Amino acid sequence: MKTMVLKWTNRIVTAVLIILLISLAALVISIKLAGGEPEVFGYQLKSVLSGSMEPGIQTGSLIAVKSVDEGEKSNFQEGDVITFVSEEDNLITHRITEVAETDSGVVYTTKGDNNNAPDSSPVLAEDVVGLYTGFTIPYAGYVANFAQSPNGSILFMIIPGILLIGYASFTIWRTLRKLDDSVKSSEKRAE
């Protein structure tokens, strides 16, 4: 009974380590390929770096933003939370406080929920990249930002790989030892 429990524990630990390694590798690779946050099933995962939308969206959270097509960019309404590219090429997620039609197209006035005043520059519809879906994972944005750093890559890819190799080596050593003990006991019985 004890060996069966150990065998199943060994299998579960091995499976968890392999799944963890593959998941972390996929996360880090997708972040690197996306040049920032990954995209999953048409949803971009964005790290929140400021407190402008608190308390609804906390600093350090990871949020899901639905990617929008060109035709959808002018269909947002007051109260929608959008992610857009600012004049400084930063991504910002703020709430629409006013929608206006101008000669150059639809323009949105936006404001962070935690800010005292609306943003100084209106947002052109063409600068909108996504619509916030309400899905938030608190503190996961810190992890995503760290995973993009060289130290994060080492921590999330190399160290789990080393642990997996070490665990596999230990398992092989233990199996060979059991096999050797079994052969020695068979030889003693044969004498």
Q: DSSP 3-state assignment of 31?
A: helix
* Residues 107, 83 within the same domain: yes
Domain assignment present for 13: yes
Domain assignment present for 5: yes
d(CA 95, CA 117): 12
pLDDT at 36: 55
pLDDT at 191: 63
* Residues 45, 124 within the same domain: yes
Rounded mean pLDDT, 88-114: 86
Query: What would the pLDDT profile of 16-75 be if each residue is shown by its tens digit?
Result: 877 877 776 676 666 666 655 566 677 777 888 888 888 888 888 878 888 887 777 777
Do 10 and 171 form a contact (C-beta atoms < 8 A)?
Answer: yes
- The pTM of the full predicted model, rounded to 2 decimals, is 0.61
CATH of the domain at 113: 2.10.109.10
50 is catalytic: yes
pLDDT at 40: 67
Identify which has the larger pLDDT, 166 or 184: 166
Domain assignment present for 177: no
Distances (CA, A) of 96 to 78, 109, 111, 115: 5, 6, 7, 13
* Residues 16, 102 within the same domain: no
Rounded mean pLDDT, 164-186: 81
d(CA 79, CA 163): 48
pLDDT over 60 (residue 78) = yes
Query: What would the pLDDT profile of 130-166 be if each residue is shown by its tens digit?
Result: 888 888 888 877 877 777 777 877 777 677 778 778 8
Confidence label for 106 from pLDDT (cuts 50, 70 and 90): confident
Rounded mean pLDDT, 161-173: 82
Q: Give 139's DSSP letter.
A: T
pLDDT at 9: 84
* Residues 134, 43 within the same domain: yes
pLDDT at 15: 83
* Residues 126, 53 within the same domain: yes
pLDDT at 37: 55
Look at the chain and report how many structural domains it folds into. 2
Domain assignment present for 62: yes
pLDDT at 190: 67
Q: Which of 23, 30, 47, 50 is catalytic?
A: 50
